[in-house]
Amino acid sequence: MAKNKLNKNWLHDHINDPYVKLAQKEGYRARAVYKLKEIDESEKLIRPGQVIVDLGCTPGSWAQYARNKLAGKEGGGIHGTIIGLDMLPMEPIADVHFIQGDFREESILHQLEDVLEGRKVDVVLSDMAPNLSGVAITDAARVEHIIDLAIEFAQAHMKPSGALLVKCFNGSGYTQLLEKFRQEFKIVVSKKPKASRDKSSEVFLLGKILKNPA
């Protein structure tokens, strides 16, 4: 019974969520887009001409936003390159290169390198989050693992002057993650966008300029 009530409460909140309504109105696939939009507007992350990689991109609202920021090329298309990676399938988005698979696997990295054509990435975005168990120590380890993967990806593929934006959670293990970012990046900013639900402990860490580029 409690679970059904919880689901009904979530559904009620979701249907009445102003960001859900706005996403539907503006044609975005998820309300998460407004988290990226707010961070981008304050930090000026995404600009025409960039190479952008979106890790864990499905369903695609962040890639949609990046595409809109890079749009405006004469005759259609975008100024720049957007590559989305996810183990789950994603409905196509115009001008976005989607690669389905695990970016730790050689075959997927080869596909990525084919699109990059020797270029380094300007911005790495990651809205990835693990399945949370509710056990603080276990969840902290899972979150840390995913962020380690994003940092390793950035070190291997990003320009030294680039930026990495990741989702994490303010709780067990957060201080260590913040310290890890400070070890890897010259500028580190923590962001809690208005579009993050009040009940959610999620925060976003932004690292700019690699201290130890590959």
Confidence band of 39 (pLDDT split at 50, 70, 90) = very high
Residue 12 covered by a domain? no
Residue 120 covered by a domain? yes
Under a CB-based contact definition with an 8 Å cutoff, are residues 51 and 120 in contact? yes
Phi, psi angle pair for 70, to nearest 5°: -95, 0
Residue 17 covered by a domain? no
Question: Residue positions in the annotated binding site for S-adenosyl-L-methionine?
Answer: 60, 62, 86, 102, 127
* Torsion angle defined by CA atoms of residues 169, 106, 29 and 19, in that order, rounded to the nearest 10 degrees: 20
Closest CA to 40 of 191, 196, 210: 191
167 catalytic residue (yes or no)? yes
Give the chain's domain count: 1
Give me the catalytic one of 35, 69, 167, 180.
167
Residue 71 covered by a domain? yes
Residue 23 covered by a domain? no
Residue 117 covered by a domain? yes
Under a CB-based contact definition with an 8 Å cutoff, are residues 60 and 29 in contact? yes
Under a CB-based contact definition with an 8 Å cutoff, are residues 137 and 131 in contact? no
- State which residues form the domain around 80: 31-210
The pLDDT tens digits of the residues spanning 131-147 come to 888 888 898 899 999 99
The type of residue at 18 is P
- For residue 172, the domain's CATH number is 3.40.50.150
CA distance 46 to 40: 7
Specify the DSSP element, H or E, that contains 125: strand 121-126
The pLDDT tens digits of the residues spanning 134-191 come to 888 898 899 999 999 999 999 999 999 999 999 999 888 899 999 999 999 999 999 9
